[in-house]
Chains A and B, each alone.
Chain A
């Protein structure tokens, strides 16, 4: 069983469209995250939810909206997609003792905006 699963794995879409990426974890973790990896491979945190509550909201355009219907799911919706949104988006989860156990990552969603 996949611990953190993201769908879709690849997403190609036109500028201006709205798209969503879904994430589910079956590890029983309390906290989930979205990270963006740019073309230079730099990983930056975007959002974090703990038990459905938003706890980290980095400087991200408000076209990006996370939604957590329950603590096992964290979805990312992106409105009015722009070329600069092309990147790999990783979902991750962590237990309450994240400082010891770290994060478990999904396999990533490669978003290409054309």
Chain B
């Protein structure tokens, strides 16, 4: 069965520092996609970054990078140079067959 696990309910980081949000997943399908979404307090779901299961290189999008360790089934999100506007809920998600499933989320708070 597919499963996404985010073990950090909350994280704090100082502005301009880097932070890693953990995500592990479980699937028996060799073909899958991993995603991170950001949900600010305004409520919308914002796509951040994608990693395919066959991608050889870790995905990067601006200050976001995905540390993909396939053998360990982990897909951690790294945010470099944190900004106050990064304070939000962050969801890891996976899709393989027919639906996108989410982890429970990590609330990130960036302080000055």
Q: Footprint of B on A, CB under 8 Å?
A: 33, 40-45, 48, 55-56, 88, 90, 92, 94, 98-105, 107-108, 110
Contacts and interface: CB of A to CB of B under 8 A. Distances in A.
Contact of B95 (A40, A55, A98, A110): A98
B99 to A, nearest CB: 5
B100 interface: yes
Contacts of B45: 90, 92, 105, 108
B61 interface: no
A102 B98 contact: no
24 contacts: A33-B99, A41-B104, A43-B91, A45-B100, A48-B99, A90-B45, A92-B100, A94-B100, A98-B95, A98-B100, A99-B31, A99-B33, A99-B96, A100-B33, A100-B52, A101-B50, A102-B33, A102-B50, A102-B93, A102-B95, A103-B47, A105-B37, A105-B45, A108-B45
A12 to B, nearest CB: 16
Q: How large is the interface on B (under 10, 10 to 19, 20 to 34, 35 or more residues)?
A: 20 to 34
A91 to B, nearest CB: 11
A103 B104 contact: no
A98 B98 CA distance: 9
A55 B33 CA distance: 20
Contacts of A94: 100
A107 to B, nearest CB: 5
B43 interface: yes
A99 B95 contact: yes
Given A33-B100, A103-B47, 6 more contacts: A41-B105, A45-B99, A48-B98, A88-B43, A98-B95, A103-B100
